[in-house]
Structure 1
Amino acid sequence: MSSAPTASVTARGETVAVGTANADAADDPAIWRNPANPAASLIVGTDKKAGLHVYDMQGADRSFLDAGAVNNVDLRDMGEKGIVVAVSDRNDLLASKLAMFTLDPTTATLKPMGKIASGAGEAYGVCLYRAPAALYAFMVLKDGTINQIELDLSGASHTGRIVRTMKLATQSEGCAVDERTGRLYVAEEDVGLWRFDAAPDGPVAPVRIAAADGHQIVADAEGVAVVPEGDRGGYVVVSSQGDNAYALYRLDDESYVGRFRIAAGTIGAVEETDGIDIVAGDFGPGYPAGLMVAQDGINPPRAQNFKLVSWADVKQALGLQ
């Protein structure tokens, strides 16, 4: 347990529990913000034992797709090419796959768009990077290998090719990209938070932003989310799973900001968080300045689920507004 000052917020909503009971099953969320009707936004969440759920802003389970063992998820709204959803597929522990889908916002359903080979080893973390010239996926294998995949969305199914490989020394998972600066952030679970250049022709050496030192981050370092503000401002947020908290760092100078927990209120507390996602902007009356979704590893008497938190509440608790 860290001795660092840690603020508290409470969740304003929660999803229906995943279908796999009595197991570590819920893992990672990805948020799609509906620009025309923010209150009709959607959340894609993984049950890593069974498949993919699509939830609405009230936490209702709008659809489920049996996809087997899937771990992390990310998405991008690509306009005419649809809402692209990428998932780390670990059905074959020796040969990772990137499972691709499109999200239909009207029906809240996922359409499979094929699988892409993403390197030898167990698929674990995944995040997308929309660069000016292409859409990329970063597949974080369980052993710390990170493969960058250039995606081709032009066909009836999505395809891609590995264009670069990077490496962290030990088990790694959560990742997110600041698309303004082309910086990739990856959590190495027992070590801390690292930054890479996300450009396909960039250097492959990592820079450590924060250590899992038992103070700012208590191992495991798990989910990672990037929340841009303005030209270079905003925050990168890391799940400090070892003491049920989250650590914030500024994106402009990567300095430490503070920590917070999601405590019990009208809705229960959040513990042992794996994946997180945070998107700024209007999400309706309950989330006027942004939405944070966090996997909840302990949710008795039900199975694991995802909690919904107002990003404005987090910023207020940390004195950031």
Structure 2
Amino acid sequence: MISCFTFITLAGCTVSETEMPVAVRIANATPAVPVTARGETTPVGTGNADAADDPAIWRNPADPAASLIVGTDKKAGLYVYGLDGRTRSFLDAGRVNNVDLRDHVAIGGQDGILVVASDRNAIANAKLALFRLDPATARLTALGKVDGGAGEAYGVCLYRDAATTYAFIVLKDGTINQVALDTAGTTPAGRIVRTLKLGTQSEGCAVDDRTGILYVAEEDVGLWRFDARATGSTTPVKIAAADGRNLVMDAEGVAIAPMGEKDGYVLVSSQGDNAYVAYRLRDDSYVGRFRVVDGAIGGAEETDGIDLMPGDFGPAYPGGLFVAQDGHNGAAAQNFKLAAWDDIVKALGLPD
């Protein structure tokens, strides 16, 4: 029998993007340029499972090559890696899904590195798990948990304005709660200040602190932006549709590459065809697509979380670091692949 799936251009056949077989959707995708990884992390401890999920980068300004990566094993806890990919520490935190961090946050009366993970140890009651990262020992210390709202915790990203550090916790159903964090005392506190909403399952998010814009990936729909300010509009603006061309569903991890005062790029994981898509911040325009392919180090496939930070990270990553979760790490458990932002910029033909 000839179906609309077999010949999608036949007259009278109308097939939605979500109904198309994966092979058809990938075949329709815009070509992606190849990039190879320069490093990778030790695999997470949970084998034979979808376990590694989301990374967050801390850049050491005094010694960039000594920078750290925090990564989630969503079945077990949080890893801290060096740029050589070796595990520096592990903290049993249970089912933590996504992670983000901010430097120079007042924690218990001292300046510190705040790490926040979306905690779904209780499926019906989302929590934000807060930690302090010690850059000298590369160890995490649990500070406590704050309420993230009713529902299953998925994504998380941090935003800092002049007065407050906020966490956006993305629940599985597309609800996004903005939580004002208070870490100045001995026990952290949080207060939901407003709620945003997308229609279906969502996860990856990132905030541009310079412009106060929140970017969120709705997995089968596309990439959106919101006003991140607590007093801002709650209406989302669609940047890109997951139409199987530039962005192939599932749209997953989101990361920002700030350039100058307000420019730069937002990147999103096009998980459906093992690619990453870049859009320009100043006008939401499509820039290009790339893949992390096999080289001296294996590539990255079916990526969930990503993170990106331009700047000096030492000899191996002099122009910046891109980290992507790898959903298929050969015979080993899942891990994270490290690519040089310089290599991505060159592959996409972006201005230096």
Instruction: Judge same fold: TM > 0.5, yes or no.
Output: yes
Q: What is the correspondence of 1:53-132 to structure 2 with a 5 Å cutoff?
A: 53-78=79-104, 80-132=110-162
Partners in 1 of 2:322 and 2:116 — Cα distance?
A: 19
What does the per-residue CA deviation read over 1:185-236, in whole Å, with 9 as the maximum and x for residues that have no partner? 0000000000000000111010000000000110000000011000111000
2:29 touches 2:247 (CA, 8 Å); kept in 1?
no
Partners in 2 of 1:194 and 1:278 — Cα distance?
A: 19
1:12 is aligned to 2:12 = no
User: What TM-score do you get using the length of structure 2 for normalisation?
Assistant: 0.90
Letter in 1 for 2:251: A
Residue 64 of structure 2 corresponds to 38
1:18 touches 1:25 (CA, 8 Å); kept in 2?
yes
1:24 is aligned to 2:50 = yes
Moved over 3 A (4+): none
Partners in 1 of 2:192 and 2:185 — Cα distance?
A: 18
User: What TM-score do you get using the length of structure 1 for normalisation?
Assistant: 0.99
Partners in 1 of 2:316 and 2:52 — Cα distance?
A: 24
Partners in 2 of 1:37 and 1:172 — Cα distance?
A: 36
Deviation at 1:30, TM superposition (A): 0.1
Q: Secondary structure at the match of 1:81?
A: strand
Residue 242 of structure 1 corresponds to 272
Count, aligned residues: 321
What does the per-residue CA deviation read over 1:255-298, in whole Å, with 9 as the maximum and x for residues that have no partner? 00000000100000110000000011000001000000000000
What does the per-residue CA deviation read over 1:57-98, in whole Å, with 9 as the maximum and x for residues that have no partner? 100001000011010000000254200000000000000000
Deviation at 1:157, TM superposition (A): 2.2
Which of 226, 229, 244 pairs up with 2:259? 229
Partners in 1 of 2:232 and 2:40 — Cα distance?
A: 40
Deviation at 1:155, TM superposition (A): 0.7
1:81 touches 1:153 (CA, 8 Å); kept in 2?
no
Identity %: 68
Q: What is the correspondence of 1:1-321 to structure 2 with a 5 Å cutoff?
A: 1=26, 2-78=28-104, 80-320=110-350, 321=352
Gaps of 5+ in 1: none
Higher-Rg structure is: 2
2:29 touches 2:248 (CA, 8 Å); kept in 1?
no
Aligned residues: CA RMSD:
0.7
Deviation at 1:43, TM superposition (A): 0.3
Gaps of 5+ in 2: 1-25
